[in-house]
């Protein structure tokens, strides 16, 4: 039973990390002038670019964060 609770907690942390870092990436991307790279009137494509790019960047950062968290939790095993 304890395994399932721990697995559920890990799943919640993973989902929250992805959502948070994708949101941060989207916020950061909005500071760029990406509109100048697109033709005029292509607002849907610009929004789609923001969303897809923020998912890619946010996923990479979340993977790094979750790996770092996992590795830091296994450091005490060096001394046992």
pLDDT tens digits for range 8-60 = 999 999 999 999 999 999 999 999 998 888 999 999 999 999 999 999 999 99
pLDDT of res. 27: 97
1 confidence band (pLDDT: 50, 70, 90): low
Q: Is 25 exposed, middle or buried (0-12, 13-18, 19+ CB in 10 A)?
A: buried
Contact call for residues 66 and 21 (beta carbons, < 8 A): no
Q: Which two tokens stand for residue 2?
A: 């304890």
Query: Which among 65, 64, 51 has a CA at the least distance from the CA of 22?
Result: 51
User: E strands within 1-80?
Assistant: none
Q: What angle do CA 31, 34, 35 make, to 5 degrees?
A: 115
pLDDT of res. 28: 96
């Amino acid at each position: 039973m304890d395994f399932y609770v721990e697995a559920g907690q890990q799943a919640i942390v993973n989902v929250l990390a992805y959502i948070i870092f994708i949101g941060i990436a989207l916020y950061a991307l909005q500071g760029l002038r990406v509109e100048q790279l697109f033709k005029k009137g292509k607002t849907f494509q610009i929004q789609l670019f923001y969303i897809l790019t923020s998912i890619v960047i946010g996923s990479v950062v979340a993977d790094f964060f979750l790996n770092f968290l996992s590795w830091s939790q296994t450091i005490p095993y060096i001394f046992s």
